[in-house]
Amino acid sequence: MSEATWVPRAEGSGFGLNHLPFGVFSRDGEAPRAGVRVGAYVLDLAPVLHDEAFAAPALNPFLARGRTAWAETRRRLRRLLSAEGAAADVAADRAAVEPHLIPLDQVTLHLPVEIADYVDFYCSLEHASNVGRIFRPDGEPLTRNWRHLPIGYHGRAGTVVVSGTPIPRPRGQRGPGDFGPCARLDIEAELAYVVGVPTALGSRPGPLEEHVFGVTLLNDWSARDIQAWETVPLGPFLGKSFATSISPWITPLEALEEARVEGRAQDPEPLEYLRRREPWGLDIAVEIVLNGTTVSRPAYRDMYWTPDQMLAHMTVNGASLRTGDVFASGTISGARREERGSLIELTWNGAEPVKLSEGDVRGFLEDGDTVTLRATAPGSGGERITLGEVSGTILPG
Amino acid sequence: MSEATWVPRAEGSGFGLNHLPFGVFSRDGEAPRAGVRVGAYVLDLAPVLHDEAFAAPALNPFLARGRTAWAETRRRLRRLLSAEGAAADVAADRAAVEPHLIPLDQVTLHLPVEIADYVDFYCSLEHASNVGRIFRPDGEPLTRNWRHLPIGYHGRAGTVVVSGTPIPRPRGQRGPGDFGPCARLDIEAELAYVVGVPTALGSRPGPLEEHVFGVTLLNDWSARDIQAWETVPLGPFLGKSFATSISPWITPLEALEEARVEGRAQDPEPLEYLRRREPWGLDIAVEIVLNGTTVSRPAYRDMYWTPDQMLAHMTVNGASLRTGDVFASGTISGARREERGSLIELTWNGAEPVKLSEGDVRGFLEDGDTVTLRATAPGSGGERITLGEVSGTILPG
């Protein structure tokens, strides 16, 4: 059985003692600082741990410390929050910690990390195949390189925003002489990895778990009409750079031990530098909710390229890592229609709208629409954990 | 006639009173801090201006202040360094300032800016046409969108390095099952713009000169074999992300007033948001030096898209700007062979090597090769200014 916390109603909420995701919060105009979510509370870390790194307005100083420090911090928090042990010890810990537990509805949540570089990959075989079929109906769905390397590109780090930030509809060129608000505004449900430990230029990183602190859900908002017109020959630019939303909560990799599965079989076998040494597939169940209606349930375990491979590829040319680098999986899409991770796939480029309720259908997003990504994963002791959700509402452009 | 400085041998060096580029330096293990170059000296700004913003290890705090502050700082520096005026005043200024003038050979120069997002454009008609002809010999040299918008993409901000940093030859995939050190290592001579004043998400910036503090030479090192294999469908990634070099010196836009020219004629006329309101072509003469031999002399004034258009495009979708954003022009190439800004163009993809000296030719870069970019521009009073050079030497991968 799983160890439990004394924090009221935390166990069973997806934010119990086996999860403890990290974020940045503020209250009443106080300075933003680090916290851990427990149930419907955020624990103010700096005073509880007597550690000024957590008084910073981003998790970066903590993330830079590395795996041993991450694990030790987690052990200390579990001890302080645990309901098990000698009654007097539990009572003493609770008395010391409880004053620093703040109800979530009293805080503002901020971007948890000062993002250094943001890279977006393209790791789902089904997503890449669907997009290929839509845009090149007469050609091979996958480009010739797709099965040989995880395709990726750099996105705009400065427009990564925290869940809840309104998303103004982007404007731009949609064709020769054609300018206006995006008419095909889309989402991409993704999982993003947050780098803690940096590397030097020209060096190679160690294993994933030595560098990556944790994961967060990410919505890669996409303006399909702007993207289609601009994308050849240098790739996506303004079709993506207007906004990317992430959850306020970073789930430590350590909390995902029970979610680890073998990565999906790969053919051809990848080159040596891309070989998997540990199972870094992740059994994370994702849900896409549009105005309250669940429109898709992609499974992250279906992804073709795993995060250890993304990290190895991103750095094989000698590129360095910085604390705060974020790399995302690309759209998570499964084989079945109800597992597709973007509207362009779900509606087959708008031709087959999804139904939200009687008489209410969507091809692409309308002003006022709210999209929420949610996810859960197996946690220790059979208790599932809930990743922090990411949500955004479209404003008129 | 131009006003002159009392700093020895500064006038005529390209770094006289009409230039004053900003950078970051350190001496003897002291902390990096801001300086201005005058002749063969760097002026330590914090003690001279009594302003702690210049004690920071990057120019960002100063850049964030905006155009009025930039101009005022420049006026103060010109006054302190000027040889004109009442003799007693000049002597007093010199006595106060001279102790803070440090010979360049006693300092280490650092990356001048903490770079936020790095965007690379593709603004030369001749470069885009040359690359198109090389890679698509049977098709149209330019993609269909090229004359309608300045094509761009995001590069890796974390691997932008200062001039003098050695460049390890990148390794990577060059085709199916083909892995190894880059065999077609190239340069791209570019001019980059450094953003000072940020904007909010969903807003639009004002005119270029309100946001951009200045310019720097940039070498966009490129692994052509890695790039060719990875680039479809999401654009350049590892073929560029291993390193990008910039000069340690940022030349203020204000010092380039005499270099401003009308931008090149454009057909078709750009959409309203891309219309030019001020002349932002720049008459900057660039020189590419490979192991001491000048191999090309591109002219920046030949560029098709001007920086005001790059800025307008980059933000038309609502993307915000941050202090420290850098956007680059893309390879500067002219119509003649000796004006091409990359080796892939100069050697027509290696087929026509360039001659460095008797018996010494290059298709692409060899280990130990040193590439230096230099540039000059008209300054006030008929005195040309010299942009800070950017140099790098290739190490074995």
The predicted-structure confidence for B305-319, as pLDDT tens digits, reads as follows 999 999 999 999 999
Q: Tell if the CB–CB gap between A152 and B234 is shorter than 8 Å.
A: yes
* Helices and strands, number each (H, E), in chain B: 10, 26
pLDDT at position A1 over 60: no
The 8-class DSSP code of residue A277 comes to: S
Q: Tell if the CB–CB gap between A116 and B157 is shorter than 8 Å.
A: yes
Which of B122, B173, B271 shows the shortest C-beta gap to A149? Answer: B173
**Distance (Å, whole) CA A44 – CA A102:** 7
Task: Report, as an integer, the average pLDDT of B329-355.
Answer: 97
Task: Report, as an integer, the average pLDDT of A317-330.
Answer: 98
**Distance (Å, whole) CA A387 – CA B360:** 60
B251–chain A nearest CA distance, Å: 24
pLDDT at A107: 98
Task: Report, as an integer, the average pLDDT of A180-209.
Answer: 98
pLDDT one-digit tens code per residue, B284-297: 999 999 999 999 99
B262–chain A nearest CA distance, Å: 23
Chain A CB contacts of B152 under 8 Å are 234, 237
Tell me, yes or no, if B127 is annotated catalytic: yes
Which of B235, B272, B316 shows the shortest C-beta gap to A153? Answer: B235
pLDDT at B17: 96
pLDDT at position B1 over 60: no
Which of A157, A234, A317 shows the shortest C-beta gap to B152? Answer: A234
Chain A CB contacts of B158 under 8 Å are 116-117, 319-322, 325
B117–chain A nearest CA distance, Å: 6
pLDDT at B29: 86
pLDDT at position B2 over 70: no
Look up residue A207 and give its two tokens.
Answer: 């294993």
pLDDT one-digit tens code per residue, A215-241: 999 999 999 999 999 999 999 999 999
Look up residue B252 and give its two tokens.
Answer: 């203020």
The complex scores an ipTM of: 0.97
CA A244 to chain centre: 10
Residue type, A242: F
pLDDT at A381: 82
Report yes or no: A310 at the B interface, CB cutoff 8 Å. no
pLDDT at B364: 98
Chain A CB contacts of B325 under 8 Å are 158
Which residues is B215 bridged to in the sheet? B193, B251
Chain A CB contacts of B143 under 8 Å are 232-233
Q: Would you say A193 and A326 are in contact if contact means Cβ atoms under 8 Å apart?
A: yes
Q: What is the mean pLDDT of chain B?
A: 97
Query: B123: which residues sit within 8 A by CB, 6+ positions away?
Result: B150, B303, B304, B305, B306, B310, B329, B330
pLDDT one-digit tens code per residue, A94-132: 999 999 999 999 999 999 999 999 999 999 999 999 999
Half-sphere exposure for A2 (CA within 13 Å, toward CB)? 22
Q: Would you say B341 and B332 are in contact if contact means Cβ atoms under 8 Å apart?
A: yes
Share of chain B above pLDDT 70, in %: 99
Query: B338: which residues sit within 8 A by CB, 6+ positions away?
Result: B296, B297
Chain B CB contacts of A161 under 8 Å are 201
- Domain spans of chain B? 22-110, 118-395
Q: Which residues of B are annotated as a binding site for Mg(2+)?
A: 220, 240, 244
Ramachandran angles phi, psi of B101, nearest 5° = -90, 115
Q: Please pick, among B19, B127, B211, B313, the residue that the annotation labels catalytic.
A: B127
**Distance (Å, whole) CA A204 – CA A90:** 44
- The 8 Å CB, 24+ separation contacts for A265-269 are A266/A147, A266/A304, A267/A147, A268/A147, A268/A148, A268/B176, A268/B177
Q: Please pick, among A19, A50, A100, A127, the residue that the annotation labels catalytic.
A: A127
Q: Tell if the CB–CB gap between B179 and A317 is shorter than 8 Å.
A: no
Which of A161, A171, A235 shows the shortest C-beta gap to B153? Answer: A235
Task: Report, as an integer, the average pLDDT of B245-254.
Answer: 98
pLDDT at A382: 84
B178–chain A nearest CA distance, Å: 9
Report yes or no: A393 at the B interface, CB cutoff 8 Å. no
Half-sphere exposure for A354 (CA within 13 Å, toward CB)? 26
Report yes or no: B238 at the A interface, CB cutoff 8 Å. yes
DSSP codes joined into one string, A173-203: EEETTEEEE-SSEE--EEEEEEE-S---TT-
Other Cβ atoms within 10 Å of B355 Cβ, number: 11
Report yes or no: A197 at the B interface, CB cutoff 8 Å. no
**Distance (Å, whole) CA A224 – CA B20:** 45
Query: What SS3 class is residue B159?
Result: helix
Q: What is the mean pLDDT of chain A?
A: 97
Q: Which residue of A has its CA nearest to B200?
A: A159
Altogether, the residues listed in chain B come to a count of 397
Q: Is domain A22-110 given the CATH code 2.30.30.230 in the classification?
A: yes
Task: Report, as an integer, the average pLDDT of B344-370.
Answer: 97
Report yes or no: B129 at the A interface, CB cutoff 8 Å. no
B160–chain A nearest CA distance, Å: 10
DSSP codes joined into one string, A20-79: --EEEEE-TTPPPEEEEEETTEEEEHHHHHT-GGGGSSSSHHHHTT-HHHHHHHHHHHHH
Q: Which residue of B has its CA nearest to A157?
A: B117
Q: Tell if the CB–CB gap between A172 and B316 is shorter than 8 Å.
A: yes
Report yes or no: B14 at the A interface, CB cutoff 8 Å. no
Q: Tell if the CB–CB gap between B229 and A201 is shorter than 8 Å.
A: no
Q: Which CATH superfamily is domain A118-395 in?
A: Fumarylacetoacetase-like, C-terminal domain (3.90.850.10)
